[in-house]
Amino acid sequence: MANLGSYYINGPTLATATAVYTDEELIYCAPDGFYSDGSVVRQQLNCELLPAENCDVCAYPCPITPAVSSPAPPSLGAYYMDVDLGSGTGAVIINFTPGGPPNGIKAEYNGNTYNDLSSPVDGFHSASGTTAITYLGRTADDCGIAGTSPVLDNYRYNGAAFVAPGGNTNPTIDATDVSLSAAIPGTCVMVVPKLSPTPSTLSLTMIAPCAASQFSIEVECPAALPSFLGAVPEITGTCGSPLDQTYYHAPVNGTAGNPGLYDWVFSDANGDLPLTGYNSIYIGGAAPGQWIEVVQGVIVSINSC
C-alpha cells in the first residue's frame, strides 16, 4: 500500500531528478525505497534514483477524501485514478459530481465494469453498454458530445491531484451512453461491491469532453451498508404487512437507516444485489406509515399509506 508524503527533488520532474529529499533545501536524502508521482516510479538507493519505469497502476489508499477535482480552469481530458481498497470487504461508495457540462465515469474492479449511478436530482443513470462510460451533466450545458471522438490529453491521479503524464485518449461517445438531466445532477452515487479481501485495486476512468467540463470525485473504503426493515415486496402499493425483511441502502438523499428518494436499495450489506424490476415495499413508520417504490435498484417514490 502506498504511503503519501511531502518530498523534494533536484529536478523539474521525478523522471529527470537524480535524488529525492525530505527537506526543501535538499540536504537530507529520503529513505531508500520506491517513489512515484503517478506517472513514473523510481527506486532510490543510497540517495541515488535508479532508472524510471512507467507507473501503469499506482494505487493510492482509500478513502480518497475530500473530493479530488479535475484541474481548474477546466481542462478537456481523460482522467485515471487507481485506488487501493485494502483487505476489507463491503460496499465501496463512489461520489461523482459532474457539474453542468457533461463528464463521464466508469469503475473497474475484479474484472467487472460498473457504470450505474443515482443522482439526488433525478435518480438512475447508466450507459447502454455494460462496459461503457456513463456521461452525466445538464442538457443545457451539452457541447454536442454524442457521436464524437475527441482527442483528449491524459491525466493521472498522483495521490494528491491529477497530473499530465503525457499521451492522449480518443474515446468514442455513443449517444446511448449520454444520460443528461434537466438540472445539474449534483453528487451522483455509484456502488461497487467488494466481496473478498483480494483483489484490492479499483480503477476509475473519467472523461471530460467539453471545454468547460469540470468534475470532482471521492472514494470511500469498503464497509457494510446501513439497513432498514420493510415488508415483502408487492406488485402494487400496500400497507400494514409485517416488517420482517432486512434491506440495505446507499444514501443519496436519505440518511443511514432512513431511506430517502433516489437511494440505492440492496438485499445484501455489500451492495452486490440491487433490487430489480418494480417493487413496492411497506416500510412502516409513524401513522399512517409509508411505502417505497424501487425501480432498477433505486427508490423512485416515497408514498404515504
Q: What is the residue extent of each domain of the chain?
A: 8-54, 60-219, 227-304
pLDDT given for residue 1 in this prediction? 41
The pLDDT of residue 5: 64
What pLDDT digit, counting tens, does each position of 186-245 carry? 999 999 999 999 999 999 999 999 999 999 999 999 999 999 999 999 877 778 899 999
Segment among 5-19, 70-84, 164-178, 235-249 with least mean pLDDT: 5-19
Q: Three cell numbers at 121? A: 436530482
Is the overall model pTM greater than 0.85, yes or no? no
Grid cell listed for 206: 473519467
Cβ neighbourhood burial of 297 (10 Å; 0-12, 13-18, 19+): buried
Asked whether residue 94 carries a pLDDT value surpassing 80, the answer given is yes
**pLDDT per residue over 161-202, tens digit each?**
998 877 899 999 999 999 999 999 999 999 999 999 999 999
Short-list 133, 137, 134, 266, CA closest to 192: 266
**Taking the chain, what is the end-to-end CA distance rounded to the nearest angstrom?**
51
**pLDDT digit string, tens, across residues 115-124:** 999 999 999 9
Q: Which three cell numbers stand for residue 62?
A: 482509500
Domain 60-219 annotated CATH 2.60.40: no
